[in-house]
Amino acid sequence: MIEFSCTCSMGRHAAPPEGYDISSGAIERIPAILKNYKKVYMVADENTYRVAGARVEKILRENGILFNTLVLDGDVILPNAETIGKIVLNANHLSAKSNIFEYSPLPDLILAVGSGTINDSCRVASYRMHLPYAVVATAPSMDGYFSAGSPILHDGTKSTVQATTPKYLIADLDVLKEAPYDMMLAGIGDMFGKYTGMLDWELARDYTGEYFCKKICADVIEATDKCLANGYRLAERDPECVKNVMEGFLVTGLGMAYTGNSRPASGSEHIVAHSWELFDVEAGHPPHLHGLEVCEATRLIAIMYEMLYEETEDMHLRELIAKYLPYFAAVEKFCVKMKMPPTVTDRETVVAGLRRALILRDRYTVLFYLRDHGLFEKYVERAADALMARL
Ligand SMILES: [Zn+2]
Ligand SMILES: [Zn+2]
């Protein structure tokens, strides 16, 4: 449990994680980090087993705490019932499987080795089995490590189900810096979404009286600034830069756990990104990397805020947006210079994504502000044109 007292209306924040290690050689310290566990059930897929799992398994075995290993096929794109079912079914020790009358002991910890599907699936399995879990990250690609929900593919669409937050995050920079380059860009792109997310949160505070924590918001902005300042060195796979991104995920993830809601990690840019993702999933296509969708949606929402800044007569709103304008300009510059790959390249899908985002989630963001002021449709069309011109 990580906790501290705060000046916001909650007075005190606490989060279930017990610790984290974001450093070079973190994998070697797993036995020390997991010192309270004796029977570790490791879950990986073929890819993550190759990049980290085999080593983790060896270390667990040598320290006498390996209970069982499950290596899933490498082609699972989103967690589904079958994948989660396999994790649950294989949790028992192999020797106990042949005789159902025999006592089948369970592990005392699930250790996910992976960043996307494996992590999301293990989180749900952990929740359903009332077993704690920890994660060994294999790519700095998305901000969901500490999320309390998991996306599940079900009935041809994607929905979010309740899951557990990890006890430990183990992020070995030697592993992470070798991740595919587009995954690294996705990771930093996911962090850029915090700028629009924080502005949406401030907007909700001032226009609906929603709960807001100044400290957590400031911490998230500070972590995002670090990513932006050092991000250009991602091209050289600079470990320090990868560390900034992982620490950013940690700050936003803990922020979600501290406040019990996802405001510290996401705003309208995530809702738009999810809309685009749903179009792909429902059409039977594999979705793009989450962080790349979020990054493009961030550029789109930033355009809407920039337009509002120019045109609104609400001086308080102008003041609020003004603080974020330099961030938006810096993100746009980064995306152009680093050739951030766009995910949605046709105007029609950009527009449809914004319209769907408005009804996808009942959360006050700039989209609700525009709707309430009769500006939504006009801004959707103009922002889509502006984004197309920038891509
Ligand atoms: Zn607070
Ligand atoms: Zn995200």
Which ligand neighbours the alpha carbon of 270 most closely? 2
| Dist CA 328 CA 323 (whole Å) | 10
Write out pLDDT tens, residues 113-123. 998 889 999 99
| Dist CA 29 CA 363 (whole Å) | 41
**Domain assignments of the chain as residue spans, ordered by start:** 2-176, 181-390
pLDDT over 90 percentage in the chain: 84
**Average pLDDT score over residue span 329-338:** 98
Q: Is 67 helix (H, G, I), strand (E, B) or coil?
A: strand
Write out pLDDT tens, residues 154-207. 888 888 899 999 999 999 999 999 999 999 999 999 999 999 999 999 999 999
Check residue 99 and give its pLDDT. 60
pLDDT over 70 percentage in the chain: 96
Which CATH number applies to 181-390: 3.30.9.60, 1.10.1060.10, 3.20.20.80, 1.20.1090.10?
Answer: 1.20.1090.10
The domain made up of 2-176 has a fold known as: Rossmann fold (3.40.50)
Going from the Cα of 117 to the center of ligand 2, the distance in angstroms, rounded, reads 14
Which ligand neighbours the alpha carbon of 10 most closely? 1
Going from the Cα of 127 to the center of ligand 1, the distance in angstroms, rounded, reads 27
Chain mean pLDDT for the chain: 94
Write out pLDDT tens, residues 248-299. 999 999 999 999 999 999 999 999 999 999 999 999 898 899 999 999 999 9
Check residue 74 and give its pLDDT. 74
pTM: 0.94
Count of Cβ atoms closer than 10 Å to residue 263 Cβ: 25
Check residue 339 and give its pLDDT. 96
| Protein residues within 5 Å, CB atom, of ion ligand 2 | 143, 190, 294
Task: Answer whether residue 101 shows pLDDT above 70.
Answer: no
Length of the chain: 391
Check residue 149 and give its pLDDT. 83
Q: Are 357 and 384 in contact (CB under 8 A)?
A: no
Write out pLDDT tens, residues 335-380. 999 999 999 999 999 999 999 999 999 999 999 999 999 999 999 9
Q: Which of 18, 7, 84, 9 is nearest to 260 (CA)?
A: 9
Going from the Cα of 191 to the center of ligand 2, the distance in angstroms, rounded, reads 7
Going from the Cα of 16 to the center of ligand 1, the distance in angstroms, rounded, reads 16
Q: Are 268 and 303 in contact (CB under 8 A)?
A: no
Long-range contact pairs involving 353-356 (C-beta distance under 8 Å, separation at least 24): 353/272, 353/275, 353/276, 353/279, 353/297, 354/272, 354/275, 354/300, 354/380, 354/383, 354/384, 355/380, 356/275, 356/278, 356/279
- Contacting residues for 362 by C-beta, under 8 A, at least 6 apart: none
For the chain, strand residue ranges (E) read 2-5, 12-15, 19-23, 40-45, 66-72, 109-113, 133-136, 149-154, 157-162, 168-172
Check residue 301 and give its pLDDT. 98
